[in-house]
Amino acid sequence: MKRIRFLQACAALLCAAAAPASFAQAYPTKPIRLIVPFPAGGATDLFARTLSQKMGEKLGTTLVIDNKPGAGGAIGSDMAAKAPADGYTLLLATTSTHSIGPAINARLPYDTVRDFTPIAHVGDAPSIMLVPNDSPAKTVREWIDYAKKNPGKLNYASSGNGTIVQLTAELFKSQAGVYVTHIPYKGTALAIPDLISGKVDVLFDSLPTGMPHVRDGRLRALGVTTLKRSPLAPELAPIADVLPGFESNTWFGLYGPKGLPADLVARLNAAANQALADPEVRDKLARLGIEPTISTPAQLAGMVAEDAAKWKKIITERKITGD
């Protein structure tokens, strides 16, 4: 009798151990919901749609985009955090939701580390430093010298308080040691006419929205916010050549709710990396101004921790708020 019970117990343990593996082999058995915490038609949404089609093919299912905008991405992120950890609800997070948001808004209904499972760092969108064509500065060094000779007389535009555009400019000011006045707009598109006319002196705009104005001859680009030259705009020197270590990217990362099983994380990470290696996907992302990134879940977690610490320091030192 004891031997029978022992064998029964062993069998139960073997079944329990095998359950996750068989579950992973069966996964997915239905469409996967990919929450995009920003409006349809924006950069994050377009990125999600480009990635989801090929990633779905790799997984053998469909990734359904679910736009849940509002509160700087907090509404959609909260929905993802509270979803079942079964691999059928994912989140495409960004710098705004997981790096800047926690430092700007102490009342977030979730913890960006504790309440999510990192899956993959899937892309970066650099910014470029734009000035009017009649600006006396033709290089980053010349612009810094110009600003130092005119403290408080120059201004910069942003897409609003607490946005990556403002924080990039404040990081630049901090490292360059210049005093430039902030003028917030409701989006960089509204600031472009004032920049072209010279009412605004500088704007750190995203590469895909800013570069067309440069190539059409309406604005001048002085540098890119990546540490090295970007393949998306190889003609632009990095601002880091003048300000060592200067970097500002809008990153995109795939997350699941906390407690997502490791085998599902591995399946999703592999599918994302395979999709990002596809030439068609890389070409589409290049046209969006996004550099695809191949990574492990641990690399995503490490990158976000460093990025969040950097922006929290700037937000604290500069007393930046989202109001």
Fold matches, 31-125+249-318 and 126-241: yes
Q: How far is residue 55's CA from residue 48's CA, in Å, rounded to a whole number?
A: 10
Q: How far is residue 174's CA from residue 189's CA, in Å, rounded to a whole number?
A: 25
pLDDT band (50, 70, 90) for residue 11: very low
Assess contact for 47 and 288: CB atoms under 8 A.
Answer: yes
Q: In this predicted model, what pLDDT tens digit does every residue of 32-74 receive, in sequence order?
A: 999 999 999 888 999 999 999 999 999 999 999 999 999 889 9
pTM for the whole structure: 0.86
Q: Is the peptide bond before 28 cis (omega within 30 degrees of 0)?
A: yes
Q: In this predicted model, what pLDDT tens digit does every residue of 276-310 receive, in sequence order?
A: 999 999 999 999 999 999 999 999 999 999 999 99
Considering only the top CATH level, what class is 31-125+249-318? Answer: alpha beta
Assess contact for 123 and 47: CB atoms under 8 A.
Answer: yes
| Beta carbons within 10 angstroms of residue 283's beta carbon | 10
Q: How far is residue 314's CA from residue 103's CA, in Å, rounded to a whole number?
A: 10
Domain boundaries, the chain: 31-125+249-318, 126-241
Tell me which architecture the domain covering 126-241 has in CATH. 3-Layer(aba) Sandwich (3.40)
Which secondary structure element, helix H or strand E, spans residue 292, and what is its range?
strand 291-292
